Amino acid sequence: MPMTPAIAIHLCAALAATALGPVALWARHGRTPRPRLHRAFGYAWVTLMLATALSALFIRDPALPNIAGYTPLHLLVPLTLLGLALAFRHLARRNIAGHRQAMQWTYVGACLVAGGFTLLPSRTLGRLLWPLLLPA
């Protein structure tokens, strides 16, 4: 699968979200909570996750098992959007524990689990990365 603009946007947003997420989560923990840092990185992370999820809708791979070009990994798009909506709903209701849990689960599911699946040798990122890490 060639590197299309949708894939480039998706890849850049996903990598940036994976890197920024722990900062947003960490900024509210520990002895010194940092609400400004948490809010800035949190909004940046949410924006990147929206870009990642929406750009995924424009990426289709007919080579993998799919329905109309959408693979099972695309099921994470509505789950990501639902997780973000749920987190902001908790925040609006001042349910900080629910907000924290929704954001943590969204980070783990959308960044770590989905990111892990994209590293499979049959996926585009896996085909790009593995030959560089394990030269023949």
- Residue pLDDT, tens place only, 4-63: 899 999 999 999 999 999 999 888 776 677 888 999 999 999 999 999 999 999 988 777
Quote the number of domains for the chain.
1
Domain range holding 47?
Answer: 5-133
Nearest partner of 80 among 100, 101, 50, 55, judged by Cα: 50
Tell me if residue 67 falls in helix, strand or coil. strand
pLDDT of 136 higher than 70:
no
Distance CA 94, CA 85 (A): 14
Write down the pTM of the prediction. 0.86
